[in-house]
Amino acid sequence: MSTGEPATPEPGQSPSQGGGYQPPSGTGYPPPAGGYPPPGAEGGGYAAPNYSAPGTEGYTAPNYPPPAGQPFAGGGQQPYQGGYPTGATGQAPLSPTEERTWAMAAHLSSVLGIWVFFLGALGPLVVLLAPGQRSPYVRAQAIEALNFNISVLIYSIIAWILVFVLIGFLMVAALFVFWLLFTIIATVKVSNGEPYRYPLTIRLVH
């Protein structure tokens, strides 16, 4: 007989098999076909922003120039693209034609100075201190001409001392021919762009 109370299920029997509340069938909200798409998938959901770390694809770092003297990315020293002049004095280097011209001047200028108190070394010295700082070739030839004329000056002093024993006259004449001959040879050589070294030269300047 029914008393109005739910029946107690037997052991091993589910409540639905006995009395009590039966869940409705065919009701509720069924899940969509195929399930819910994951976040970021096409067709719905939340797509996370595509952040890329610096140095990875999708990130472009600003191209700041490094400080002066510092290496840049890729190794080595960043070349300066400005217009700084070159040379030891901050001036532009000499062209090949200018180098030959000044090298000739270093040797020929001694011819002008030899008649002024035997100052044949003055001309090469001026060339050494001016354009010689802009070209290693001009500097080398100016030093060579300077050393040669200093040597000739020393030989001349010895020759004039020996004038008192008569042999000095021959030495002075021979020394003049020697000096003039090799000065001309040196001028011709450097006009062709060839370096020249004088014989019998005391090289005091380096």
List helix spans (H) across the chain. Answer: 96-113, 122-129, 136-161, 167-191
* Domain assignment present for 135: yes
* Domain assignment present for 111: yes
* Domain assignment present for 33: no
**CA distance linking residue 195 with residue 206, whole number of Å:** 15
Residue 143 burial (C-beta neighbours within 10 Å; 0-12, 13-18, 19+): buried
Range in 20-24, 92-96, 195-199 with the lowest mean pLDDT: 20-24
Res. 81 pLDDT band, cuts 50 70 90: very low
Which of 104, 126, 130, 101 lies closest to 113 in space, CA to CA?
126
Res. 23 pLDDT band, cuts 50 70 90: low
Range in 28-42, 49-63, 112-126, 154-168 with the lowest mean pLDDT: 49-63
**CA distance linking residue 176 with residue 102, whole number of Å:** 24
Q: Does the global pTM surpass 0.85?
A: no
User: How far from chain centre, in Å, is Cα 189?
Assistant: 34
* Domain assignment present for 35: no
Q: Which residue has the higher pLDDT, 147 or 64?
A: 147
Mean pLDDT of all residues in 57-86: 49
DSSP character for 115?
Answer: T
CB atoms within 10 A of CB 176: 14
Mean pLDDT of all residues in 133-146: 95
* Domain assignment present for 107: yes
Contact 197, 190 (CB under 8 A): no
Rounded-to-10 torsion of CA 123, 127, 130, 134:
180
3-state secondary structure 32-77: CCCCCCCCCCCCCCCCCCCCCCCCCCCCCCCCCCCCCCCECCCCCE
Domain assignment of residue 135, given as a range:
96-153+182-191
Domain count within the chain: 1
Contact 93, 134 (CB under 8 A): yes
Mean pLDDT of the chain: 74
Q: Which residue has the higher pLDDT, 119 or 195?
A: 195
Q: Which residue has the higher pLDDT, 2 or 158?
A: 158
* Domain assignment present for 83: no
**CA distance linking residue 141 with residue 19, whole number of Å:** 123
pLDDT at 202 (0 to 100): 95
pLDDT(2) > 60: no
* Domain assignment present for 61: no
* Cβ-proximal residues to 1 (8 Å cutoff; 6+ apart), any chain: none
Res. 164 pLDDT band, cuts 50 70 90: confident
* Domain assignment present for 70: no
